[in-house]
Amino acid sequence: MTLKETLLASAKKAKTAMEAMERCGEGDGERFSALLREYILAKYLLDGGEEEEDLERLSHLSVERVVRLAAEPGFSYTDVPGCTGQSSATEKKILLLLKIRDTLAKELPVEELIGARTLPRLAQVIFAARFGKRGQNGR
């Protein structure tokens, strides 16, 4: 599969997962968590075979995957600081989290969002914020 085909397929998969998350109801916590994982893996161009739960590690895996797909041997974007002084993986993680927040939980404080370091915790925090349960399951 070419880079373009991979990007298009991942974008479609991510869009489908996001739309499904938006339709989740209060009793759909497990489904929401699975869809969030699917969304993040699609946005990160990861194939879903990863068992990794740590968001920072997934970000690094994503950057490594993009470099491999772009066929730029000998050069790793993983530790190259961008204009903010952060690594590409950190910037990618932050942008992804802000996109998720803007779409699914606009009222969720950024600090809570960034504080979720694993996929299960992120799903819990966002799901709780969507259904007004922060301070219970969301914290």
pLDDT digits (tens, 9 = 90+) for 54-63: 999 999 998 8
Q: Distance between CA atoms of 38 and 131, rounded to whole angstroms?
A: 21
Q: Residues 68, 60, 98, CA angle at the centre, nearest 5°? A: 115
Burial 23-35 (b: 16+ CB within 10 A, else e): ebeeebbeebbbb
Range of lowest pLDDT (4-8, 13-17, 37-41): 4-8
Q: What is the mean pLDDT of residues 36-54?
A: 90
Question: Which one-letter DSSP state was computed for residue 116?
Answer: -
More confident residue, 53 or 72: 53
Q: What is the mean pLDDT of residues 91-109?
A: 90
Nearest to 59 by CA among 83, 90, 101: 90
Q: What is the mean pLDDT of residues 44-52?
A: 85
Is residue 134 very low, low, confident or very high in pLDDT (cuts 50, 70, 90)?
low
Total-model pTM: 0.79
Give the residue carrying structure tokens 């950024």.
Answer: 110
